[in-house]
C-alpha cells in the first residue's frame, strides 16, 4: 500500500467514525449500530495486523476527540492478539497516554487496553490500581508474572478487598483468588463479608480454614433473618466449612 492509499484509508475511517459518533447511541454497541464499519475494521485486523496497528495508532493520535473516541470503541469490540513478530506495544502506550492525560476518555481507553494491553504498561497500571481503579486490577490478572509483581499487586488487592465500590472489591477478590490462597486471605475476605454480605465473597470463604472464619460466619448469620438470600449464602458456606472441620 502506498502512502497515498494509506492516507485515503485514514480519511475513510475519520469520516466513518465521526458519522458513527454523531448518529449512534453512546450506550449502544457499535456491532449492532454500525455493523459494516465494525466488519471492515475486524477484517483488516485479521488480514494484516501490522497495517491495522499502524492505522489505529494514527487514529488514536488524531486531533479530533470524536475520532480518538471512535477508534477506542472499535478496539474494545475485538481481541487484538499479538503475534510472535508483531506486538501491540505502541497501541498499548498510546492508550495508556490517553488514560493518563485525557480524563474524559479514560474509561474508553481502559476498555480498549483490555483488548490490546501488553506488559509494557504495567508500571502505569500500578499507579491507577493504587488510586483505586478497578479496571487496572481486573486487567493485570493476565499480565503479572514475577514473584515481585505478584507480591506488589496482591498487597494492593488486600487494600481494596472491602472497598465500598463493588467492581473494585470484586477485582481485588479475583486477583487474590488467582495469585494467593484463601488460607492466607481468609481474614481480609471475612472483613469484606461482614461489611457487604456479597454472595461471591461468602462463597469464596468455602476455601478458607474453618478455624479462621467459621465462628464469625455463624455469628453473622445469627443477625440475619432466614428469609433473606444472604442467610442462605452464609448457611451454604457454613455447611461446607463444618464438613471440612469434621473430616479432619
- Band (pLDDT 50/70/90 cuts) for residue 54 is very high
Does the pLDDT at position 68 exceed 70? Answer: yes
Share of the chain above pLDDT 70, in %: 99
From CA 3, how far away is CA 229, in angstroms rounded?
A: 62
Per-residue burial over 73-112, b if 16 or more Cβ lie within 10 Å, else e, is bbbbebebeeeeeebbebbbbbbbebbeeeeebbebbbbb
From CA 112, how far away is CA 30, in angstroms rounded?
A: 14
Does the pLDDT at position 97 exceed 70? Answer: yes
- Band (pLDDT 50/70/90 cuts) for residue 84 is low
Average pLDDT of span 5-29: 92
Backbone torsions φ then ψ of 144, nearest 5 degrees = -70, 145
| In the block, residue with C-alpha cell 502506498 | 2
36-53 pLDDT, tens per residue? 999 999 999 999 999 999
Q: Are 132 and 160 in contact (CB under 8 A)?
A: yes
> What is the SS3 assignment for 184-230?
HHHHHHHHHHHHHCCHHHHHHHHHCCHHHHHHHHHHHHCCCCCCCHH
- Report pTM: 0.87
- What domains are there in the chain, each with its CATH number? 1-116 (1.25.40)
Identify the CA nearest to 68 among candidates 31, 41, 95, 28: 95
183-202 pLDDT, tens per residue? 999 999 999 999 999 999 99
Task: Enumerate helices (H) and strands (E) in the chain, giving the number of each.
Answer: 15, 0
Amino acid at each position: 500500500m502506498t502512502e497515498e492509499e494509506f492516507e485515503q484509508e485514514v480519511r475513510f475511517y475519520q469520516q466513518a467514525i465521526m458519522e458513527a459518533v454523531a448518529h449512534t447511541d453512546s450506550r449502544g454497541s457499535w456491532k449492532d449500530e454500525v455493523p459494516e464499519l465494525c466488519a471492515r475494521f475486524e477484517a483488516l485486523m485479521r488480514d494484516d495486523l501490522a497495517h491495522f496497528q499502524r492505522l489505529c495508532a494514527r487514529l488514536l493520535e488524531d486531533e479530533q476527540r470524536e475520532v480518538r473516541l471512535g477508534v477506542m470503541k472499535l478496539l474494545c469490540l475485538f481481541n487484538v492478539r499479538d503475534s510472535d513478530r508483531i506486538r501491540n506495544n505502541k497501541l498499548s502506550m498510546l492508550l495508556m497516554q490517553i488514560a493518563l492525560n485525557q480524563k474524559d476518555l479514560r474509561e474508553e481507553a481502559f476498555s480498549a487496553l483490555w483488548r490490546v494491553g501488553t506488559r509494557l504498561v504495567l508500571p502505569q497500571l500500578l499507579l491507577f490500581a493504587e488510586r483505586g481503579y478497578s479496571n487496572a486490577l481486573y486487567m493485570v490478572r493476565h499480565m503479572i508474572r514475577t514473584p515481585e509483581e505478584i507480591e506488589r499487586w496482591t498487597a494492593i488487592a488486600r487494600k481494596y478487598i472491602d472497598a465500598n465500590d463493588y467492581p473494585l472489591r470484586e477485582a481485588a477478590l479475583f486477583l487474590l483468588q488467582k495469585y494467593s490462597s484463601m488460607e492466607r486471605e481468609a481474614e481480609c475476605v471475612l472483613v469484606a463479608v461482614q461489611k457487604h454480605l456479597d454472595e461471591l465473597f461468602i462463597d469464596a470463604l468455602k476455601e478458607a480454614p474453618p478455624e479462621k472464619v467459621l465462628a464469625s460466619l455463624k455469628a453473622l448469620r445469627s443477625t440475619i433473618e432466614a428469609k433473606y438470600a444472604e442467610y442462605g449464602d452464609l448457611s451454604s458456606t457454613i455447611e461446607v466449612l463444618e464438613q471440612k472441620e469434621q473430616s479432619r
